[in-house]
Structure 1
Amino acid sequence: MNITTAAIITDCADDNARARQQLRFSSLFGIQPTFLGVGREAPDIEAAGNLIDQLDALTNLPKSRSDKNLESVILVNVAPRGDAVKKKWDNGTPFCYFRINGTLVVSTYAGRSLGLAKARGLVSDVQLMDIPTVMKAAVEWGELTQEQATHVSQTQFRSYEFLPLAAYWLTSGRDVPATTAPVETFDNSNGMVWCIDAFGNAKTTLRASDIDFEEGKTVTLADGQSAVCVRRLADVPKNTSALVIGSSGKDGDRFIELVVQWSDDGFHKSDSAASRHGLGVGSNVLA
């Protein structure tokens, strides 16, 4: 495969972890990945929305570019932790992969990171990898020594030691051992915030069809206040909360954003949608 673009979405995003992950990826693929660190509040929801945006950024290109048969890789590492996870998987949730329109996505399996992709019909099942089984195959291929394979199987930094290796082998044509598993779903009936942008606007997991979007319609929010449906941000009345068709999403199906239009004296964070409605990543949107 001719890998020309790549991205990493992860909750292991301090400076040390970032540098190591980027260098490991570059050493394997010869290109520098885009790096996106997610926060500690609902990181899997944040990753889920960003995954849709990154898949969108890799599609709908001009014909002169899309005809070149270029390939991309997105790594997603946002793993739920705790006793419940350890009881099910000894060293954390396994990784999985799927392909869509020339893009290989390799991701942690458990949690909500792939839930929005499933809701949009982009993926239903994934290929689930067991790290010790993949490491056994890597030794048989002659790619790793037994000592190296044991280290990768036991590491606590799997997004550095295993995740880029798995992607590298998958893009190199290796028959990486895996089993088919369904993507998990989650309750999105009230919608959740997956990103607060630089202006305090809230990108949500909702789409127009989820709220029966109609220009001028009033919708009750989780905090008991209301917002009016307005298709374009530019048309929202000053100092008004509105639900608009946002820029994030994929193809013609964009996420709903909760916004507050600037008043005459300009933008103030104290009067943003996030501040006015008490929102953060993971907050419910609708009542």
Structure 2
Amino acid sequence: MWKKIALPVVLALLLGLALTGIALASESEDTPLPPEMRRGVGQIAALGESQITLRDLRQELVTLEVDEDTVFKSTSGEPASFADLETGQWLAVAAVAGEGVSRLARLVILLPEDYQPPKPWVLWLRGRVEQVDALNGSFDLQPRRGEELTLVVDADTRFQGQVDSLEGLTDGMLAEAAILRLEDGTFLALAVRTHSPLVWHAGTISGVDPAAGSIILETRRGDVITITATDETRFRSRGGWVQAVEDLEVGMLILVGADETADGQYQARLVLVGRPHRP
């Protein structure tokens, strides 16, 4: 009879097997798992020919390749095989980088049938806002990798950044959300921090007003743009010799990532600075 196993025990089991060594190359050669090995837990979303697609605890899809050197075990240490895997099953895996975006599984542990991931669990997820449903109190968040998630909000959800409520969200906004997975499988957004995609401008500084925090930028096409720096603006330069607007000089080459306000103004979020042109 399978026994319930907590997540820390699963990870400790993986670590223990790594330290004791498992025959990866052949049955007669004990080879410890290499230090670059990544370990984790996930649920099988799909099975292909010599391939496992897992949904990890962050709800992201991870592709694992298997080969003749992949070791399959049960939690009791009994040998297992790829043929024992089924969609929906939970696995603990140790893998190294493979070709492309996939990873090569070196150790696969089949977890008990009654294994349950830790609940509730909280994670931070970044992505693009899609399909805001103010009537039902939800919105979709599309991460860079993985499937789109529907997040619900309640009266305690905190909004930070450009909006202060669900109604302020618009499709295409970039957002970070602290998410709690509830017992019924839905995802509750505890906090949402939003910002729009940056608008980038590159060119030469033609004027600086430190008192107003403004930078006048002339682009290669001859356009003149005024950009305002705030206390949250970050400056980056080789050697760190530019830390604020006061350090900027006419003639410097800069690349600015800015937020465009509702009235068409630009507020700098990031300023990358090059050396001034020298005659």
Could you state the TM-score of these two structures normalised by the residue count of structure 1?
0.27
Larger radius of gyration: 2
Q: Which has the higher contact order (CA 8 A, sep 6+)?
A: 1
The structure whose residues are more often helix, as a share, is: 1
Which has the larger share of strand? 2
TM-score normalized with structure 2 length: 0.28
